[in-house]
């Protein structure tokens, strides 16, 4: 079976090898060896009150808005099984049991490129996730942290987050910090939880005049020239298609 061509946004075409064959020297019959079709998976990890209620507030689905926006760009790849995304709560990537259930069990093969986009407490736990998965031999292509929160003792006591400061491991790390000129209630909540103060590490460490809740804007607004974090994740994924 030969190469397959996929056409995505802007008319770009990518040749995909669907499968190849091997023939044993002692066996004249042809053996078909499937090639894993999924080329990338993105985990969108939400913060407090994102996927489920948090102290009687929410769910707000903030990071799901970012996921929905991104999936529109990758629709053709998703329809053909070349890409998938998962929306997770911050508490679903804390601890080996949950990581196995919600993360590892949906990754089709160990060398599949993995992308993690985490917002608020999801940025904190998502950063920890990249280190854990890297230690287990998984390939973390990119980490995007959107106004990550988790340094406060009180939020740690009341939330299922890691206590230690994250030590992310990814080929590229992009961080976006919300610095709103007009703070709202979500910014007060983020300040209470204590934002993660990141002095070094990210390839891009941007500040944006948006409120804490607005994961969609932090993900889609330009931060490096004319490119957004969404653009950079998309471009990285498309490079997986030779």
Domain ranges for the chain: 1-35, 37-238
pLDDT at 134: 97
Least confident of 51-60, 90-99, 158-167, 191-200: 51-60
CB 116, CB 160: distance < 8 Å:
no
Q: Calculate mean pLDDT across residues 34-38.
A: 60
- Please identify which residue in the block is written with the tokens 């102290």: 55
The pairing of beta strand 140-146 with beta strand 3-7? unpaired
- Please identify which residue in the block is written with the tokens 């190469």: 3
Tell which wins on pLDDT, 226 or 31: 226
Return the DSSP state at 93: G
Exposed (0-12), middle (13-18) or buried (19+): which is 183, by Cβ within 10 Å? Answer: middle
Rounded to whole angstroms, the Cα distance separating 29 from 27 reads 6
CB atoms within 10 A of CB 205: 16
pTM listed for this prediction: 0.85
Rounded to whole angstroms, the Cα distance separating 51 from 58 reads 8
15 pLDDT higher than 60 = no
Q: What is the mean pLDDT of the chain?
A: 85
Q: Which CATH class is domain 37-238?
A: alpha beta
pLDDT at 53: 56
Least confident of 4-18, 36-50, 102-116: 4-18
Q: Which of 13-22, 77-86, 92-101 holds the top average pLDDT?
A: 92-101
pLDDT at 34: 42
Return the DSSP state at 182: S
pLDDT at 212: 97
8 pLDDT higher than 70 = no
Q: Calculate mean pLDDT across residues 14-30.
A: 40
Residue 241: band (very low, low, confident or very high) from pLDDT cuts 50, 70, 90: confident
Structure-block tokens of residue 120? 């608020």
pLDDT at 56: 52
Q: Calculate mean pLDDT across residues 181-193.
A: 92
3-state secondary structure of 9: helix
pLDDT at 57: 67
Tell which wins on pLDDT, 196 or 19: 196
């Amino acid at each position: 079976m030969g190469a397959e061509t996929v056409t995505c946004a802007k008319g770009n075409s990518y040749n995909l090898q669907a499968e190849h064959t091997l023939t044993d020297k002692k066996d004249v019959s042809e053996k078909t060896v499937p090639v894993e079709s999924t080329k990338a998976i993105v985990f969108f990890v939400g913060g407090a009150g994102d996927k489920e209620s948090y102290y009687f507030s929410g769910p707000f689905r903030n990071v799901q808005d970012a996921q929905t926006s991104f999936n529109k760009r990758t629709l053709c790849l998703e329809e053909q099984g070349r890409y998938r995304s998962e929306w997770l709560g911050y508490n679903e990537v804390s601890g080996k049991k949950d990581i196995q259930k919600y993360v590892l069990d949906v990754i089709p093969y160990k060398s599949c490129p993995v992308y993690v986009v985490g917002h608020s407490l999801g940025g904190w736990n998502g950063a920890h996730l990249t280190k854990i998965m890297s230690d287990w031999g998984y390939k973390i292509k990119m980490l995007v942290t959107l106004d990550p929160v988790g340094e406060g003792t009180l939020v740690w006591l009341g939330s299922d987050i890691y206590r230690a400061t994250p030590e992310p491991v990814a080929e590229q790390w992009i961080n976006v910090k919300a610095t709103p000129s007009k703070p709202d209630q979500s910014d007060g909540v983020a300040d209470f939880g204590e934002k993660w103060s990141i002095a070094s590490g990210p390839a891009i460490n941007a500040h944006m005049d948006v409120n804490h809740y607005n994961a969609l804007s932090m993900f889609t607004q330009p931060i490096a020239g004319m490119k957004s974090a969404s653009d950079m994740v998309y471009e990285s994924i498309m490079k997986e298609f030779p």
